[in-house]
């Protein structure tokens, strides 16, 4: 019957609201860069080294997630297939330990601007390429154009501070940042498969538990000699941000919603990560927010609109022709 909204349109409308939830995660994760800056390089007192901060973060995240899931869905703590435990251990190693460590190492060689461009700026594209190779998903013309526009916006935001450059030393960090994006894109494809085959709570808790176990030796080595009494409340607050909104909320929401919208659509919102990072630094640290950064943000949003145009039409956000049953 004409006038009835098709199942495809209803699905896209759900996808739009799912993308809003994923957007909330990326907003929080953008502020996470500021939290790490405060936690590792505080104005007063002693800061954590980046690996120790991540280790402490997950030592706190793991029990909180465990209690939440045990109350909300106890069945999620049971793993029917022991082979999945090996998979979760590998996921925890790559997504939590290696990913976070590579980020830290990259920043010792290159600028935040370069890392931003080659990290969040390329990871969605690599996810789409992996999806095309492994899941046989087609790259649409709108997808390619939207991705290029969004990447250009990321480049504008990253270069707004004047620190975007290529040199002999920075090429090491640039290569690490790019390699991290390739691995993260591949991880998103396999994570999505696991989330579709298992309870998202199961995947989330065991990834975090194994990631925490991988960090444990380093924390046990560094903690006894650390000057805990010299840690300011600002550093503890920064650690708290990385624990509750960044990890507990972020992981649960992301892993629940991503299987519904797909890894490619989900990672598209990562293009906005540099913009949210700049906004957070402006609010929290008082760093200047330049016209170039705002312009880059507008370009990113334009690219995302092109990428997700059909979803926006189905949700009634922008005008367009919707699918009709019986046409």
Can you give the pLDDT at residue 221?
A: 98
CB 164 within 8 A of CB 117: yes
* Intervals of the chain under pLDDT 70: 1-12, 111-113, 161-168, 310-327
DSSP one-letter code for 226 = S
Tokens of 236: 């503890």
Alpha-carbon 141 to chain mean position: 25
Distance CA(134)–CA(259), nearest Å, equals 16
pLDDT score recorded for residue 121: 81
For residues 183 and 119, the answer to whether their CB atoms sit within 8 Å is no
pLDDT (0 to 100) of residue 315 = 56
pLDDT at 4: 47
Structure tokens at 68: 């939440």
For residues 92 and 207, the answer to whether their CB atoms sit within 8 Å is yes
pLDDT at 10: 62
**Phi-psi label, residue 314: left if phi above 0, alpha if psi -120 to 50, beta otherwise:** alpha
In this predicted model, what pLDDT tens digit does every residue of 1-28 receive, in sequence order? 455 455 656 666 777 888 899 999 999 9
Q: Classify the C-alpha dihedral 99-100-106-110 as positive or negative.
A: positive
**Alpha-carbon gap, residue 178 to 163, rounded angstroms:** 17
CA–CA distance, 101 with 54 (Å, rounded to integer): 9
Quote the pLDDT of residue 293.
Answer: 83
Quote the pLDDT of residue 317.
57
Q: CA angle 304-263-110, nearest 5°? A: 70
Residue of 102, 49, 35, 107 lying closest to 225 (CA atoms): 49
| pLDDT, position 144 | 85
| pLDDT at site 320 | 56
d(CA 53, CA 92): 17
Q: Per this entry, what is the length of the chain? A: 327
């Amino acid at each position: 019957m004409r006038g009835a909204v098709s199942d495809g349109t209803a699905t896209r409308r759900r996808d739009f609201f799912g993308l809003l939830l994923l957007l909330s995660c990326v907003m929080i994760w953008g502020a996470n860069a500021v939290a790490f800056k405060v936690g590792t390089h505080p104005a007063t007192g002693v800061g954590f080294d980046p690996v120790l901060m991540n280790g402490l973060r997950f030592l706190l995240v793991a029990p909180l997630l465990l209690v939440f899931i045990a109350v909300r869905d106890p069945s999620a703590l049971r793993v029917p297939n022991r082979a999945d435990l090996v998979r979760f251990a590998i996921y925890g190693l790559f997504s939590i330990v290696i990913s976070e460590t590579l980020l830290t190492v990259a920043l010792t060689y290159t600028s935040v601007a370069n890392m931003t461009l080659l990290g969040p700026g390329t990871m969605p594209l690599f996810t789409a390429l992996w999806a095309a190779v492994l899941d046989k998903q087609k790259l649409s013309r709108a997808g390619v154009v939207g991705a290029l526009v969004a990447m250009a916006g990321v480049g504008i935001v990253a270069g707004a501070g004047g620190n975007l450059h290529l040199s002999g030393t920075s090429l090491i960090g640039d290569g690490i940042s790019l390699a991290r994006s390739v691995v993260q894109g591949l991880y998103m494809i396999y994570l999505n498969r696991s989330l579709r085959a298992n309870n998202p709570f199961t995947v989330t808790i065991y990834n975090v538990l194994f990631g925490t176990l991988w960090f444990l030796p380093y924390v046990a080595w560094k903690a006894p000699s650390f000057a805990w009494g010299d840690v300011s409340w600002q550093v503890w607050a920064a650690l708290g941000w990385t624990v509750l909104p960044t990890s507990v909320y972020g992981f649960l929401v992301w892993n629940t919603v991503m299987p519904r919208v797909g890894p490619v659509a989900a990672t598209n919102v990562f293009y906005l990560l540099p913009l949210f990072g700049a906004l957070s630094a402006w609010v929290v640290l008082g760093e200047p927010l330049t016209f170039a950064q705002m312009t880059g943000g507008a370009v990113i949003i334009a690219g995302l609109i092109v990428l997700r145009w059909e979803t926006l039409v189905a949700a009634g956000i922008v005008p367009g022709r919707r699918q009709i049953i019986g046409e």
